[in-house]
Amino acid sequence: MNDAPSAVLPIEILIAPHPVLRRKARPVRPEDAALLRALLPRMYEAMYAAPGIGLAAPQVGHELRFAIVDLHENETRTPITLINPEIIRAGDQLVAREEGCLSLPNQYAEVVRPETVRVRFQDLDGRRQELDADGLLATCLQHEIDHLDGVLFVDHLSSLKRNMIMRRLAKERKGKG
């Protein structure tokens, strides 16, 4: 059987409340390498086209623990691929920053998170890496790692705000359907 045609199909970004977005992703194992290498270019293409600055595997229907991030600073692409990422340290100082999500299109809210984090992950070659981040990068990393744990940015809000956003999203989706 030839899988080549599926490799060129565009990736669909899942929209909340899709159940895959609420599941904890399983760790990436060595036998997943071929899938990752096939999926990553398509994920980057989908993220850039959206446009977004981060995308986690569950958002495209794969319950695997990896995500991509690129802040496009100075109009330059600086992609980061995070395999099996974990936050190993978070700063004590908290900051509120407006967040959005490709799985909750056109929905935004202020989310309070640590200003700094250290993330441990593997790169595509399996090497362990650590990344210290602050500001927008720290927020983005926390947001994407949340996705790997089945957590959406709206889960950091009050139930009232979360419900308002989810109702608004459902209404917008119904209008397009």
> Which amino acids are annotated catalytic?
144
DSSP 8-state secondary structure symbol assigned to residue 17: T
Q: Which amino acid is at 57?
A: A
* Cα separations in angstroms, 69 against 43, 52, 95, 136, 161: 10, 9, 20, 11, 26
Distance CA 164, CA 32 (A): 38
In 10 A of CB 26, how many CB atoms?
A: 14
What DSSP line would sit under 66-110, residue for residue? EEEE---GGG----EEEEEEEEEEE-S-EEEEEEEETTEEEEEEE
Measured CA distances, 55 to 42, 69, 80, 81, 157 (Å): 11, 7, 11, 10, 21
Determine contact, residues 142/117, Cβ cutoff 8 Å.
yes
Residue 51, token pair as written in the block: 């446009």
